Amino acid sequence: MTFNAKLIFFTVALVITTFSGVGYAAGDSSTGDYEMEHKHWHFNGAFGTYDKASAQRGYQVYREVCSSCHQLKHLSFRHLGDQGAPFYDERYPNPNDNPLVKNFAADWSIESIDGETGDILERPGVPADKFPAIYPNAAAARASNGGGLPPDLSVIVSARNGGADYIYNLLLAYDAEMPNDMVMGPGLSYNPVMDGGAIAMVAPLSEDLVEYADGTPATVEQMAADVTEFLAWSSDPKMEQRKSAGLMTMLYLTILAILLWFSYKRVWKDVEH
Ligand code: HEC
C-alpha cells in the first residue's frame, strides 16, 4: 500500500469504529434453556441516551415496589435532578431547587439525631440526603427476607454479567416453567435467569401494580423495562456527558487529521518522494 492509501484506510477505519454502536456486550450467564430477550436499549451505542420518560416511570416502580427491600446507597435525592438524570430540568441547574426532586425527597423519612437529647428523630428528606438504608444491618435484612439478602441496586446493572438485559429478563423469568426434577427450598422461587435457577425474591412485579401518571399501561414487561432503564442510569449517571465528550474529541481529531493531511501535501508538494 502506498502511504496515501494507508492513511486513508486508517482514517476510514477509525471513523467506522468510532461511530458504529458499541453496545453492551451482553454475555449470557448460565440461563440453561431460557431464551434471554435482548432488548434494544435506548442507551446503547455511541449516540445512545437514556429514555427519560421510561427512567422517570422506572423511578416510580423503584419507589413503589423495590424500595421496600432494596436500597440505592450510592445516590442522593438531588442526583435525580442532575444533568443527564431522569428528572433534570434546565430551569433548575441546581437540582436542590427542582420542585420534583424536593417532593421525591420529602416522600422519604430520614432518621436524624436530636443534637440535645440524642433521641432518634424522623424527618422528611431533603434533596441533599442520601437514599436511606432500609434495614439496620445485613442480619436484619436476611431475617426479613427468608434468609436472602436484597443487594443494593445503585450499581446493579454494571455489577451483573449481561447488564440491563440480565435485570430485565430476571424480572420476567418468573413465568418460566420449572423442570420436573427441580425442588425449591423454602422461600425460594424458580427463576431460570438466576444462577442455579432459584432466587430468594418472590416475583416483585404483577400486572397494574403501579399506576403511571402518563397513562402508559403498567404491564409486567413495561415496568421491568422502565425500572431497568432507571437502574441503568443509576449505575452510570455520567454516561451522556461522557459520550458527548467522546464524540467531540473524535470530531476534533478527525478535523485535525484532515488539516494535517492538507498541510502535509502542501509542505512536501515540490519534493520528489
Ligand atoms: C420483598 C422484598 C423484595 C422486593 C420488593 C424486591 N426484591 Fe429484589 N431481591 C430481594 C431479595 C431477598 C434478593 C436476594 C435474592 C437471592 O439472593 O436469592 C433480591 C435480589 C434482587 C436482584 C439480584 C439478583 C441477582 O442476580 O443476584 C435484583 C436485580 C433485584 N432483586 C431487583 C429487584 C427489583 C428491580 C425490584 C422491584 C421491581 C425488586 N428487586 C423488589 C427482595 C426483594
Q: What is the pLDDT of residues 122-150, one digit of tens each?
A: 999 999 999 999 999 999 999 999 899 99
Res 243 pLDDT > 50: yes
Residue nearest to atom 33 of ligand 1 (CA): 66
Q: Strand, helix or coil at 120? A: strand
What is the residue whose three cell numbers read 437529647? 117
Res 17 pLDDT > 70: no
In CATH, which superfamily holds the domain spanning 3-75+131-267? Cytochrome c-like domain (1.10.760.10)
Average pLDDT over residues 50-55: 97
Please name which of 187, 193, 148, 154 lies closest in space to residue 170, comparing C-alpha atoms: 193
Least confident of 4-8, 52-56, 189-193: 4-8
What is the predicted pLDDT for the residue at 29?
44
CA-based end-to-end distance of the chain: 15
Q: Judging by beta carbons within 10 Å of its beta carbon (0-12, 13-18, 19+), is residue 198 exposed, middle or buried?
A: middle
CA distance 73 to 32: 32
Which distant-in-sequence residues (6+ apart) come within 8 Å of 178 by Cβ? 184, 190, 197
Measured in Å, residue 222 CA sits from the centre of ligand 1 at 18
Residue nearest to atom 21 of ligand 1 (CA): 150
Q: Give the global pTM.
A: 0.86
Res 26 pLDDT > 60: no
- pLDDT tier at 23 (50, 70, 90 boundaries)? very low
Cβ of residue 176 lying under 6 Å from some atom of ligand 1? no
Task: Let me know: does 42 contact 51? Beta carbons within 8 Å.
Answer: yes
CA atoms within 13 A on the CB side of 88: 15
Q: 106-120: per-residue pLDDT in tens?
A: 999 999 888 899 999
- pLDDT tier at 81 (50, 70, 90 boundaries)? very high
What is the predicted pLDDT for the residue at 86?
97
What is the predicted pLDDT for the residue at 22?
45
Measured in Å, residue 170 CA sits from the centre of ligand 1 at 9
Res 182 pLDDT > 50: yes
Cβ of residue 200 lying under 6 Å from some atom of ligand 1? yes
